[in-house]
Amino acid sequence: MKKLLFAAFLIAVSVSCFAQVKFKVHIDTSIHKTFTGRLYVYTTTDTARGVPDQVNYKQPLFATQVANWQALQTIVLDDNAEAYSVKPSQMKPGYYKAAAVIDADIDTRGTFNPGNAYSRKDILFYVNEKGETNVHININSLIGQPRFKESDTLKLINLKSDLLSSFHNKDVFLQASVVLPKEYLSNPETRFPVVYVIPGWGGSHLDVMGPNPRKRYGFDKGAPKIFVYLNSETQTRWGLHSFVDSRVNGPWGKALVEELLPYIRKNFRGTESPEKTFVIGQSSGGYPSLWLFTAYPKAFGGGWAVSPDPVDFSSFIGTNIYAKNANIYTDEQGSERGFFLTNGRFESTIREWVKQEMFEVDGGQNQAFEAEFGKLDARTGKPKLLFNRQTGTVDPKVVEEWKMYDMGLWIEKNWKKYKKELSGKIHVFAGADDNFYLNKSVEAFKLKAQKAGADAVIEIIPGANHFNVWTSPGFIERMHKEMDGK
């Protein structure tokens, strides 16, 4: 009897070992490069559309670390690989498409960066009723440098920063696109007002090659101005730096003010008047459009922070991180905190959002916050965690280290001291239906600003969400009218 049971056990183990999906990833012989990094395999059941550019976390996703990988070597992803939702052996029978990408650039957030490689065509495959198939994916395309076409009124800036290079012990560059008004060429002696644009998550200086930034920020509105569209990527793995002076990312705000502003004045006839120098930003670019005034109150004549990342940490994407036993994942009743509010309903939870970021290892929004506001953890070499990734429990010691970046606390404490320099310069806006509850943080900031007697414009826009404040009736025209009145 024991022998029969043991034999049955061996058969079961054998079936479980062989009855599974295996992804066999190869590098095409046309790619003469060795890769060390993280290999991702993305799948989708939507075979008509194929694997989307934006990762769909509702579909099976897999990853593994590779070292010194090159052509003629095969990497196999099976149940031993990291899986986001289900293991390969748990994939339901049916047709799928798959694609792969190797992320070998540890100094840039995201996977689709120059020097990485991917499979150009999706692979169609079928998982049979036994849960079996071998999927061969050929990585055959290198990601090249993006093309930037300059013109008389569009210029690319790649300025080495001595401040940041010294901090990181490597060459670090301030990157920006400069959009000149049409009047620039016909008025060779004129200096123009300058607007520095800090884009939100996923945006970069290359966005100006498309039409959306010009429309969103009103490049053609009001008096002629020079627009300097900035790149907020850290050139580290931690995510956006947002031009905030950070103990982890380095002195990005200082580099902007002391290196890039003088460069624009010298080389593009930007105004020499701080009163005619402005900063505007959306989301992760909104926060620094307020913060820069706390560190460099005389550098700009006005700032417009729209749908900013949390400006008051008593409402940090729904959590009061100062509260006793604060938890990022659950509220005071123990219910899961929702994430991404759309039409009155949450698309997901904070816990699920963080899980997605953990699958990508580094460079997610939460780690970007930790690098922006916190300190480096000497044990891990990474930014200190604000909260335990498994439980959501907030670390009060880390909260204490973040306080200097809480704009609500700053304005309560410092408005009287900086009243002369900052009166009339600060503008903060959020939509009443912000998808990430950032309106609640702006509301908390507004109460503290009012209590301090601050001369600042802080408004909640009815009917607007996180993304469309800029298209609210008259908003762009109002902003430019205020700039032109300086």
Domain-located, residue 169: yes
Distance, in Å, from the CA atom of 464 to the CA atom of 467, rounded to the nearest integer, reads 8
Q: What is the pLDDT along the chain (486 residues), one digit of tens a residue?
A: 444 433 333 333 333 444 589 999 999 999 999 999 999 999 999 999 999 878 888 899 999 999 999 998 999 999 999 999 899 999 999 999 999 999 998 888 888 889 999 999 999 999 999 999 999 999 999 999 989 999 999 999 999 999 999 999 999 999 999 999 999 999 999 999 999 999 999 899 999 999 999 999 999 999 999 999 999 987 778 989 999 999 999 999 999 999 999 999 999 999 999 999 999 999 999 999 999 999 999 999 999 999 999 999 999 999 999 999 999 999 999 999 999 999 999 999 999 999 999 999 999 999 999 999 999 999 999 999 999 999 999 999 999 999 999 999 999 999 999 999 999 999 999 999 999 999 999 999 999 999 999 999 999 999 999 999 999 999 999 999 999 998
Strand-pair partners of 319: 316
Give just the sign of the alpha carbon dihedral 215, 364, 296, 454.
positive
User: Are 248 and 212 part of one and the same domain?
Assistant: yes
User: Are 174 and 43 part of one and the same domain?
Assistant: no
Domain-located, residue 411: yes
Read off the CATH number of the domain in which 124 is found. Answer: 2.60.40
User: Are 189 and 283 part of one and the same domain?
Assistant: yes
Domain-located, residue 370: no
Domain-located, residue 342: no
The letter for the amino acid at 85 is S
Q: Which of 122, 142, 162 is the last residue of a domain?
A: 142
Q: Which of 78, 110, 142 is the last residue of a domain?
A: 142
User: Are 163 and 237 part of one and the same domain?
Assistant: yes
User: Are 45 and 138 part of one and the same domain?
Assistant: yes
User: Are 127 and 169 part of one and the same domain?
Assistant: no
Q: Which of 97, 115, 142 is the last residue of a domain?
A: 142
Q: Are strands 117-118 and 94-103 parallel, antiparallel or unpaired?
A: antiparallel
The letter for the amino acid at 49 is R
The values of phi and psi at residue 37, to 5°, are 170, -145
User: Are 308 and 242 part of one and the same domain?
Assistant: yes
Tokens 């899986």 correspond to what residue?
83
**478-482 — which CB contacts under 8 Å span 24+ positions?**
479/218, 479/280, 479/304, 479/427, 480/218, 480/221, 480/222, 480/223, 481/222, 482/302, 482/427
Helix, strand, coil fractions of the chain, as percent rounded to 5: 30, 25, 40
Domain-located, residue 348: no
Could you list the residue range(s) of the whole structural domain that residue 93 is in? 19-142
User: Are 167 and 277 part of one and the same domain?
Assistant: yes
User: Are 173 and 210 part of one and the same domain?
Assistant: yes
Domain-located, residue 472: yes
User: Are 136 and 164 part of one and the same domain?
Assistant: no
Q: The pTM is what?
A: 0.93
112: which 2 tokens? Answer: 């689709």
User: Are 63 and 165 part of one and the same domain?
Assistant: no
User: Are 185 and 308 part of one and the same domain?
Assistant: yes
Domain count, the chain: 2
The DSSP element (H or E) to which 455 belongs, if any, is: none
